[in-house]
Structure 1
Amino acid sequence: METLGDILQQLSLAQGPHTLPKHELLQDHERIRNLLSSQKARHAFAHTFSDHTPHSSKAPLDSLKRITISKLTADTVHYGRVLVCRTIAKPLKFVGVQTIIEDPIVGQGSSGMEVAAARLSLYNFANFTGPHSDLNDHLPIGTRLFIKEPYYKPGSQDAVLMIRCDSPDDIILVPNEQVGGKLLAGLRWSDALPIKYGLPIKRGLKPQFESVDGLKQKGNEQFARKDYASAIDSYTCALELDPNNAVLLSNRAQAHLNLDQFRQALEDAEGAVKIDGTNSKALFRQAKALYGLRLYEEVSSVLKKLDMASADTEKLNQHTLQRLEEQQHGRYDLNNIFQEARSKQPPILDHADYVGPVRITKIAGKGRGMVATEDIVEGTLLLCSKAFAIVFPSEFPADARQNVINQQQSLSHFYIVKRIGERLQREPWTATEFYNLSAGHSIPPMSNTLQIDSDRIAKIVDTNSFTPKTYDTSSSSPMFPSNPPSTESSSESDDSKGLGLWILASYFNHSCLANARYQNMGDFIFVRSTRDITKGEEICVSYVLPFDEYDKREKTFNDREFRCQCQLCEFERAQPEATRHRASLLDQFYEMHNAIAKNDHSIIPRLMKIIDELRKTYETAASTGINASTSVSANAAKRKGGKKNKKKTIAAASSSSTTPTFVLPPRQLQLGMFPPISVLFHLYRSCAQLQQAVKTMVEGYELLPQCGNFVHIRAETAVAICMAYQQLRSSEEEARWMEIAKKEYELLYGVSKNWWDNMRKI
């Protein structure tokens, strides 16, 4: 019996780019379609991976000149041209959506002549996963197409030349009013295939020989099979016959809800309620749609019209009240959110967004950024936001990497670009806020936000995405990096990471010594101030890991097309020789990773020598011209005063300047010493040299600034010192460091007894 693998192997035997006659293209296409249907396509891939930079046409249709398949050139994007063609085969979804297209007959040619045909592969068009053997309902045979600036390339399996399209906006399904337009003028087709115009789906087509009740029953059966898209089509056909049927509108609203199509669901539910205001199902579905659109105040208004005795209504009401508390006051039960994110796979959570005392504005020399609208106390929640799009490693198929031709790109990048394209296609009203994000300094603003521009999506992801952070709270040495810096790139390590894009969070610019820090839980990002911030001051987060060396940080900045001018970067630029020597010493330290993992105490002398050599590289700090205006003790004293007294202090500072300069003492610029010091503490503690361990780690804690990502390390370090004092049975010091750790965690997560109790259990 012939298998799908057999067919693909046969196709791959051909050598070199070439074309096939129409009948052979149709035969190969039909063989694959039949196999997909009979075998349910176990070998097919659920997602699309590109082997090139996706092309997306920026040209308006009326500026393009007509071209035919027979005039296309291999391995070429045909700029300034539009391909006029029609489909002649039932489309299928294998990797992308595939069909066969043919040229029209130009001029006075014979109707029976053989015209050029080609495969057409459409990527990022289907917003569902998995293979499908027949998509004729969505792209019927005979559909006329305009393909803007077509890309003609050899297929990856058999080198047969094909048209590849990565952007849905590059395909235009010819509407009725353009049948006689200039691009179609003088064209005829080789046979009498039925001609299709307009949007090629069932919606809007007049049903024939079916009753309203029959179509409703058909839709209900499809709904019961969870074929919600087909159910929507059946309900739509029924509504063509009976447009004022509230039950049909309500049923279609529920089908849209099950596909997370909340705006369409709201439109149908509101239509049903307008016809029948007593329809409780329609009212409830209206409330559910508003909830999905995150319009919680409107949800409350609708729920007041329903019987709260219903368990479903009461549950939705309770969730809505919780979301309003989050949205209006920034009050989140972080302990429950943390547990929820750990227990769900993937961790897609149901919570509201919150915007605190921040606003977007232009920042001199940087473009747009985020500033404080009032004086802000350290530990204040500034922003909570649900991801516009996010992917987690748990979502990657086991064989996904072997199907990626461009091995330099991570799976998370491919997946998130695809996911964003699907969302923009499904929810075009979200395009403006997405395309308003920076795609890099060299990319001008986008004029047509209705276009799905794959190339621009990828650049926006490159410029604005965050890697969701996770921390191993069970590790006895959480400060030591589990993956030390390497001079070699590793696609495997990249594939173990997720990627997320949050719209508002993208407007926070970078500083290595940031005054705020982001933390993600599931698909939500929380941004909290890590020190006092004055009104009008820019708020920054760090895009790099706390102890990344200067060269690695600089590469990240170059990739994102900016230059960091924080005190740490300026300090290290001012001492290039010392910075290079420091990097060499840290390389020696990271090479000891295996011995450290085995608790090999014999490396302690080597560690101590590396720490002493690192200390010497900082001896020139005083000569760099960097003046210290703050200290660890000053910050600690300020924090003891409480938030009321601190507000007065901040107000006094802000009255003199809206953009104060935060300067660290030279001691807290010696950050390269911390990783080996933290490991030395761990080794001392494992061999019961507890007094030496505590002395070592207290020095490490004093190195850490109260900035950005370092706050998390400060908290973990305080806990580690506390545990060491517990082993020493020094209850007074244990209690003191426990209080220090608690204050550090309040900076990270706010004042929350439940959260602190949970951290102590961990």
Structure 2
Amino acid sequence: MAATKGAAKAAVPARRLTKEELVKTHATHLKKQNNSPNAPRPVKQPVISDAYPASTKSIRELEIIPLSELQPETHHRGKGIIVRAVSPPFLGAGAVSIVEDEFGNADKLAIYNQPDSSILSAVPEGCVVAVKEPYYKNNGAAGDYMICVDHPSDVILLRFTDPIIPEALRLGPLLKTADEWKNAGDRAFIEKDFPTAVFCYTEALEAAADDATFQAAIYAKRAGTNLILGRYDAAKADALASRTGGPQDWKAYFTAGRAAYGLCNYAESNTLLTTALDLQPSNPAIQKEHARCQARLHEEATGEYDFAAMHASLGGGVHLDRGSFLRHTRVAPSRHHGRGLFATRDFAAGELVFAEKATLMPNQYEPARASAALFALVVRQLCDNPSLAGAVLALHAGEAADAVRTGMEGAVVDGVPVVDVFVVEGIRTKNCFSAPRSTLEDTRPSVPEGWAAKGLWVHASRMNHSCVPNTMRSFVGDMLISRATRDIKEGEELFQQYVPVKALPDVRNEQFKKGWGFECECALCASERRSPEAMLAKRKELLAAVEKLCNKKLPGKELVPDATIRAVDRLAKQLEDAHEPDVYEGVPRLTLIYPCNWLVAAHRGRKNHAKVVKYALKVLRNFGFKVPEESEAWDPREMYAKSGDATLMTVHVVAALRTLADAYKALGHDEMAERCIEAAEFGYMIVTGSKNDLTTLDK
């Protein structure tokens, strides 16, 4: 039955634009397109509130209806249409073509979210397609309607000889023999029209069904073409299908090994490449790929990385050739939010917990386009490489997107995997991370604000949030590095910050509810819930007063008037007194960090080093670290391991330690200054993911 968005069933339109009207208008769009052939194509990201499920039926299970029976604003469940493109496509956010059915009815067909590895991303004139359970919509003008295909798996490119095509739409095979199709595929390959080459090679295979030798050669050609397109699942299958049992099978194993490598399946890649090397021991290309694979397996087993080389290679792109080190963590049920990530051994503060190469990450660092680029990449990879579906689609997508799940997402129907764009967008919004090109660069003042890409790291996405987490993530290209911020015991759940935490508990928890649908249960949030509303309001009022007085800025090199310092100090003391000892015992006091940092900067400008020490220590205590009062001796190098379970590690902790070192040195306490520098360097390693020169903070 047809399903409508409204309560009443929509009627068939009294009038639709004629074929002539459609073609005329379409021609004007094509003319504009031809005038700007290199204009970038936008991405149509789905609106979750409009979510509807992708079709899970085969086109052969559906009732084929004519275009004249389509009803506006309706999802035609249980129905399908078969149409032929009678115009070139107009390429915008989708590919819009004029199509007609077997009865001569014409309409517009808009196909969105197709990977550019598919012919359907720009349907050639004359191709016949099937649309499953089509959605029909009005474009705003009288008689102007369009078949809108959001889910890429809802439209199928039919082979010219497919018996489901009505007789009136049949053109017959454009080419007759397998050789003709092979030659057409070769021409398309030379012209770098790889999707068409794959189509032609597929037709050649069908035409040569009884010639195993010919088919082996075509499988090899199609495997290589699929490898170029990044369709690694298909490339591997084709390569293995091209084997003949002869000595030249090394080529099949070599291509299959490279395809498995593209999927980051390094163990499988190693097996395939080893077989290729056994058949062709002196081949330098195989030797190179085999050695590369061995390096990835070493990284997976040991977690040993050349971080300096990784940083140095970023000039050539952000997709690093590295393996993921995940073996000391596991996914298991969590008492917090369904499932989480757990330690399988003890970790010392600062130790590498895991390092993960992005499952999917576009090389797009403009904030306005990064989200759309990631969405498009996830859709493409799920279409092109169905083996990714299990890991990616198992992620939480949010209540609205999860509501349209059918359980068939990722299943192959009519030769293509079912891809629901609303589920994909839900997964993206709930699980992606914003990532600088490198966290080391991001700690420098010269980095433009908001200059970040977005990526999906499936393993890291399993971690639950805490405002006082026991790990900290950093990035080098598409590698996510997770280090322990304190000592962690085997079996302990691992936590990370989803976003930098806000100082006020009501503000940050509203962010968590809106973004992820949960209320944080970490030690800090649990403690602050015991504070009366009146005290929360008082702290909020005092913090606002400090921020207003200071214009929400820290002092620079200018000399701050004594009166201003006294006023801020007075407000800071009042704010400190507004933190109940029983509530804030052993947890950070985030509202005090800004005023204390301001006082550090103000006293540093006046070279009042004793006061700098006093307030820098307060900064560390307000981040939850157990440090003494200024008069007591202490070893800052031990603060990471000995500060308890509710500390908050940020680059501001590193900055406070550096400031302390300068102040201690100025006061003649050289040994304490050296200890603070060592502690700062250790903290900077946690923040940036690897050991780096602390002076880069000033660049």
Structure-2-length-normalised TM-score: 0.79
Change (3 A) 1:145 1:287: closer
Question: Is 1:253–2:210 an aligned residue pair?
Answer: no
What is the aligned residue count? 644
Provide the residue aligned with 1:89 in structure 2: 86
Change (3 A) 1:23 1:126: farther
Deviation of residue 166 (structure 1)?
A: 0.8
- The answer to whether the 8 A contact 1:47-1:129 is kept is no
Change (3 A) 1:145 1:476: closer
Match of 2:575 among 592, 598, 617: 617
Provide the residue aligned with 2:198 in structure 1: 232
Change (3 A) 1:609 1:18: farther
Provide the residue aligned with 2:538 in structure 1: 581
Amino acid at match of 1:448: M
Deviation of residue 92 (structure 1)?
A: 1.4
Deviation of residue 464 (structure 1)?
A: 1.8
Provide the residue aligned with 1:292 in structure 2: 262
- The answer to whether the 8 A contact 1:155-1:162 is kept is no
Provide the residue aligned with 1:194 in structure 2: 170
CA distance in 2, matches of 1:732, 1:275: 72
Range with greater deviation from structure 2 (601-610 or 507-516) = 601-610
Match of 2:111 among 122, 126, 134: 122
Deviation of residue 566 (structure 1)?
A: 1.6
Deviations 1:524-578 (A, max 9, x none): 2222222222333222111131444323311222121111122211233333233
Provide the residue aligned with 1:370 in structure 2: 341
Match of 1:569 among 525, 550, 558: 525
Structure 2 counterparts to residues 417-496 of structure 1, below 5 A: 417-441=375-399, 443=402, 446-449=406-409, 450=411, 451-469=418-436, 471=439, 496=451
Match of 2:132 among 147, 158, 162: 147
Provide the residue aligned with 2:44 in structure 1: 48
Deviations 1:92-138 (A, max 9, x none): 15110111234555xxxxxxxxx643211111024359998x632xx
Question: Is 1:385–2:356 an aligned residue pair?
Answer: yes
CA distance in 1, matches of 2:562, 2:224: 65
Amino acid at match of 1:22: K
Amino acid at match of 1:503: V
- The answer to whether the 8 A contact 2:129-2:155 is kept is no
- The answer to whether the 8 A contact 2:182-2:218 is kept is no
Provide the residue aligned with 2:456 in structure 1: 501
Provide the residue aligned with 2:373 in structure 1: 415
- The answer to whether the 8 A contact 2:444-2:697 is kept is no
Q: Match of 2:433, SS?
A: coil
- The answer to whether the 8 A contact 2:17-2:143 is kept is no
- The answer to whether the 8 A contact 1:574-1:624 is kept is no
- The answer to whether the 8 A contact 1:55-1:167 is kept is no
Provide the residue aligned with 1:733 in structure 2: 672
CA distance in 2, matches of 1:27, 1:425: 34
Amino acid at match of 1:24: E
Structure-1-length-normalised TM-score: 0.73
Provide the residue aligned with 1:244 in structure 2: 213
Provide the residue aligned with 2:288 in structure 1: 315
- The answer to whether the 8 A contact 1:719-1:741 is kept is yes
Q: Match of 2:361, SS?
A: strand
Match of 2:176 among 199, 202, 208: 208
Provide the residue aligned with 2:235 in structure 1: 265
Q: Match of 2:116, SS?
A: coil
Provide the residue aligned with 1:486 in structure 2: none
Deviations 1:255-297 (A, max 9, x none): 2222222222223333444443345544433332232232333
Amino acid at match of 1:244: T
Range with greater deviation from structure 2 (83-92 or 116-125) = 83-92
CA distance in 1, matches of 2:244, 2:349: 50
Provide the residue aligned with 1:112 in structure 2: none
Deviation of residue 709 (structure 1)?
A: 5.4
Change (3 A) 1:671 1:473: farther
Range with greater deviation from structure 2 (611-620 or 60-69) = 60-69
Range with greater deviation from structure 2 (161-170 or 668-677) = 668-677
Change (3 A) 1:60 1:749: closer
- The answer to whether the 8 A contact 1:84-1:104 is kept is no
Provide the residue aligned with 1:541 in structure 2: 496
Deviation of residue 55 (structure 1)?
A: 4.3
CA distance in 2, matches of 1:228, 1:176: 19
Change (3 A) 1:725 1:160: farther
Provide the residue aligned with 1:654 in structure 2: none
CA distance in 2, matches of 1:25, 1:248: 40
CA distance in 1, matches of 2:337, 2:48: 31
CA distance in 1, matches of 2:64, 2:190: 46
Deviation of residue 508 (structure 1)?
A: 0.8
CA distance in 2, matches of 1:86, 1:542: 50
CA distance in 2, matches of 1:337, 1:604: 48
CA distance in 2, matches of 1:336, 1:758: 19
Q: Which runs of 5+ in 1 are unaligned?
A: 1-16, 106-114, 197-204, 397-409, 484-492, 629-664
Structure 2 counterparts to residues 57-96 of structure 1, below 5 A: 57-58=53-54, 61=57, 68-74=66-72, 76-78=73-75, 80=77, 82-95=79-92, 96=94
Change (3 A) 1:47 1:679: same
- The answer to whether the 8 A contact 1:690-1:724 is kept is yes
Change (3 A) 1:300 1:169: closer
Deviation of residue 448 (structure 1)?
A: 0.7
CA distance in 1, matches of 2:475, 2:695: 18
Change (3 A) 1:441 1:619: farther
Amino acid at match of 2:365: S
Change (3 A) 1:162 1:700: same
Provide the residue aligned with 1:326 in structure 2: 299
Match of 1:164 among 139, 148, 171: 148
Provide the residue aligned with 2:332 in structure 1: 361
Change (3 A) 1:64 1:577: farther
